[in-house]
Amino acid sequence: MHHSETERQLLQAAHEIFVERIPFNRVLGIEVLSLDHERPEVRFAMRPELVGNFERGMLHGGVISSVHDLTGGLVAFLGVQQKLKDKPLAERIERFSRIGTIDLRVDYLRPGIGEWFVCKGSPLRTGNKVAVAHMELFNDGGELISVATAAYTVS
């Protein structure tokens, strides 16, 4: 897929914002796998610090909800970018700071057990003021661990 120079710079900025500038995302060990606006994906490895149930070595529920939230934020950011294609790069990047979570609903389906996990997001709606996203978290065995839906302010 060919990206224009502006798109490439934008994707680089998004990666830097999500992976490097948000300290909590660094704690989680988030790695952005895809910045496709229809299906962004992030990945993180299991580590002892992320365990919630120490007897079973399961992911903490707060880690799961946080990863869903940051993936949904990425969906919202990328959706807004689609609407701002003709605007200057600086203005497009600045919009990130205006994205805030309104609501997050998580369904925990299976224990968070695995060596690593991937969270995939998809836009349900991107309006001028609010974006709504759906997310799915899978373990390294391809099992669906949890699903979430979230709404974000984007204006």
* C-alpha to C-alpha distance for 4 and 2, rounded to whole angstroms: 7
Which CATH architecture does the domain made up of 5-153 adopt? Roll (3.10)
User: In this model, does residue 114 exceed pLDDT 70?
Assistant: yes
Look-up of token digits 């948000």: 22
pLDDT single digits (tens) 61-88: 999 999 999 999 999 999 998 888 888 8
Confidence check: pLDDT of 11 > 80: no
pTM of this structure: 0.90
Of 119, 106, 114, the residue nearest 139 (C-alpha): 114
Q: Which of 50-64, 91-105, 131-145 has the highest mean pLDDT?
A: 131-145
- Domain boundaries of the chain, sorted by first residue: 5-153
Which of 39-48, 59-68, 95-104 comes out lowest in average pLDDT? 95-104
Q: What is the pLDDT of residue 2?
A: 53
